[in-house]
Amino acid sequence: MAKFSTILLASSLIITSAKAQTPPMGWMSWNAFGPNINENILKQTADALVSSGMKDAGYKYIFIDDGWPIGRDAKNNILPDPKKFPSGIKALADYVHSKGLKLGIYSDAAPKTCGGYTGSLGFEKQDAASFAAWGVDYLKYDYCNAPEDSATAKTRYNTMYKALAASGRKILLGICEWGGRQPWRWAAKAGGTVWRTTGDVRDKWKAKPGEEGMGILDIVDINAPLDKYAHKGHWNDPDMLVVGLYGRKGPASDLGGIGCNDQEYQSQFSLYCIMAAPLAASNDIRDLSETAKKILTNKEAIAIDQDPLAIQGKRVVNNDTWEIFVKPLANGETAVAILNKTNQPQQSNVHWSDLGLDGDYEIRDLWTHQTIPQIGTINAHETKLLRLKHTLALAHIFSDNMVLQRDHPLKIWGTAAKGEKVTVTFRNQSATTTTNDHNKWSLTLQPVKYGGPFEMTIHTTAQTITYKNILVGDVWLCSGQSNMEFPISGWSHVVNYQDEIKNANYPDIRLFNTAMSISGRPEADVKGGQWQPCSPATISPFSAVGYFFGRELYRNLKIPIGLVSSVWGGTDIESWTSRNSLDTSAEYHDAVKNLPRFDMDSLNGLHRERV
Ligand code: GLA
């Protein structure tokens, strides 16, 4: 007896914690068949899931949608329509299980479903018991014909969750109230494994102005900002994939659902994967086109969706041209999805640092399955789905031709694989450290006197990077005087500088400007070609400004010098890079104010010396 109750306790614990560790994947009957389903279609679909390779790729569920019940018997047991399911749901579940798949079913938290079929309100326990007895593994629980308010929704969903948990079988609950009651705030607590965030997706890219049905992009726009609510076992559900429907007549074809092109279907797939969305194919996979199959079975893309870290990618860029998502992955790599929303091909101009990513990366294109040197052109409505692997990298503030502050401890930092040993060699010094859990490392070298050009080598087991033409000199910090206004042409000495290095013989290089304030918005102003006087109020932190300046100089003006600031000496550059915004804190000001400043006379002096 004691043994028996222990087993019971253990199994009820398992049941009440029923959740999916990664977003559920399967096929849902609604878009291809509406309510016109039957056991043959579903069995054939189970077969097709296996023979097409979709099961291998991770699709586990056959989700029966609306249209299966016919009513209740004299004892109020819910009954499948015998015309559609002559062998009963249990036989279907057995068949599906025999293929190594799982079965999902559908009901509604009201007397009637959206299609007007029998719902479960008031019969939750009894229906959950039927589902369990049949061997059902998942319930999509809809919300048609139910009251508007959130409180009722929470209660009704939780009632069904408890009924499922008490049914003796692990049955996941999919909440489907279309986002109206902000289920992301309460659905996990109510017992939902997934919750729909939107109305029904239609088979189109984007709704025309005034058109009601939502397309792929409309749905993505609703789901994207909800990333923080998704976590392991609980997922935002932006509805089914429309991949491969090609305008097929059915629920997804109304309200303007005229179909999409393959590029757009592929985009939906990429965007769903980066958002860790449940992947429910909804086309007729008994008749799967080669392209739809290629999209739906892309294992590299699916691995992004199913990544064990279980993070919904964050949309970090959203403008008229681009949407860019970033998703950290369990092995320390990063997935990035870049969507070109326009109707023309666009040249990608993304810089990892713009996305808050430090360091250098090897880029793998998850659609061509190749490592690519750069992102290149992105077609209209195309989404590049990329996997970024850290190559050894200093933080982006470093580059060839950088200037290090003389006579100051040199704090060098960067990124590399987790736990990697990193050795930096510069002049006659060498120091070693190990990356932390966030792939970051930093170490400090002893102060160095004026001089250059030197090389700095960063070495790990995976890679060695050598930065060339490093100078040790004074880093000029803007102090706001009027003589610190630099028009573009005033940078000729910078351009010359590289030649001078090539021609060597500068053993005592003394100065290179690296910090420049441009009215607090360096990027914008450099792009516009407008130079402003620097003013102390707008130049904190100097290093950040210098970094922007150097990067923009290179990017926009094609001046082949990665001119960057290097203000060290107790400053907190690392925290700046991680926050990725200008640091205006008093601590920062205090930290930088004692750094040596360069005065214009020395600059002139240097020029004189050079002539
Ligand atoms: C609602 C749901 C759909 C589908 C239909 C069935 O519209 O949002 O996903 O289940 O009901 O009637």
Q: Could you report the per-residue pLDDT of 19-73, keeping only the tens digit for each? A: 678 999 999 999 999 999 999 999 999 999 999 999 999 999 999 999 999 999 9
Q: Which residue owns the Cα nearest ligand 1 atom 8? A: 200
Residue 135 has pLDDT above 60, yes or no: yes
Weakest mean pLDDT among 102-106, 165-169, 503-507: 503-507
Query: Please, are residues 538 and 589 in contact by the beta-carbon 8 Å criterion?
Result: no
Helix (H, G, I), strand (E, B) or coil at 117: coil
The residue that leads in pLDDT, 606 or 408, is 408
- Residue-wise pLDDT for 385-438, tens only, equals 999 987 655 433 455 555 566 666 776 777 777 788 999 999 999 999 998 776
pLDDT at 410: 76
| Residue 68 in contact with ligand 1 by CB distance below 6 A | no
- Residue-wise pLDDT for 333-352, tens only, equals 899 999 999 999 999 988 88
Reported as half-sphere exposure (CB side, CA atoms, 13 A), residue 513 has a value of 27
Whole-structure pTM over 0.95, yes or no? no
Q: Which residue owns the Cα nearest ligand 1 atom 1? A: 114
| Residue 65 in contact with ligand 1 by CB distance below 6 A | yes
Backbone angles phi, psi at 272, to 5 degrees: -65, -40
Query: Is 127 considered catalytic here?
Result: no
Tokens 């706001």 label which residue? 480
Q: State how far the alpha carbon of 464 is from the alpha carbons of 392, 428, 454, in Å.
A: 7, 18, 16
- Whole-number average pLDDT of the chain: 77
| Residue 214 in contact with ligand 1 by CB distance below 6 A | no
CA 92 / ligand 1 centre spacing (Å): 22
Mean pLDDT of all residues in 582-596: 37
Reported as half-sphere exposure (CB side, CA atoms, 13 A), residue 485 has a value of 8
pLDDT at 415: 73
pLDDT at 533: 34
CA 221/CA 511 separation, integer angstroms:
49
Helix (H, G, I), strand (E, B) or coil at 144: coil
Residue 127 has pLDDT above 80, yes or no: yes
**Parallel, antiparallel or unpaired: strands 194-196 and 172-176:** parallel
| Residue 30 in contact with ligand 1 by CB distance below 6 A | yes
Weakest mean pLDDT among 14-23, 391-400, 461-470: 391-400
| Residue 218 in contact with ligand 1 by CB distance below 6 A | no
As a whole number of Å, the end-to-end CA separation of the chain is 99
CA 267/CA 542 separation, integer angstroms:
41
Q: State how far the alpha carbon of 179 is from the alpha carbons of 35, 143, 173, 236, 373, in Å.
A: 23, 11, 16, 10, 41
Q: State how far the alpha carbon of 77 is from the alpha carbons of 55, 108, 324, 500, in Å.
A: 32, 15, 49, 89
Reported as half-sphere exposure (CB side, CA atoms, 13 A), residue 272 has a value of 29
The residue that leads in pLDDT, 351 or 101, is 101
Residue 315 has pLDDT above 60, yes or no: yes
CA dihedral 436, 441, 445, 450 (to 10 degrees): -170
Residue 526 has pLDDT above 80, yes or no: no
pLDDT at 204: 98
Residue 188 has pLDDT above 50, yes or no: yes
pLDDT at 276: 98
Residue type (1 letter), 201: V
Q: Most distant CA pair in the chain: distance in Å?
A: 104
Band of the pLDDT at 358, cuts 50, 70, 90?
Answer: low
Residue 228 has pLDDT above 80, yes or no: yes
pLDDT at 40: 98
Mean pLDDT of all residues in 110-129: 98
Task: Among 27, 63, 66, name the best residue to mutate to test ligand 1's pocket (greatest count of ligand atoms within 8 A of Cβ).
Answer: 66
Band of the pLDDT at 291, cuts 50, 70, 90?
Answer: very high
Residue type (1 letter), 482: S
Mean pLDDT of all residues in 588-598: 36
Neighbours of 105 (CB within 10 A): 26
Residue 579 has pLDDT above 70, yes or no: no
CA 414 / ligand 1 centre spacing (Å): 49
Specify which residues 458 forms β-bridges with.
424, 465
| Residue 64 in contact with ligand 1 by CB distance below 6 A | no
pLDDT at 256: 95
Query: Is 142 considered catalytic here?
Result: yes
DSSP 251-286: GGGSTT-----HHHHHHHHHHHHHTT--EEE-S-GG
Task: Among 142, 194, 201, name the best residue to mutate to test ligand 1's pocket (greatest count of ligand atoms within 8 A of Cβ).
Answer: 142
Query: Please, are residues 352 and 388 in contact by the beta-carbon 8 Å criterion?
Result: yes
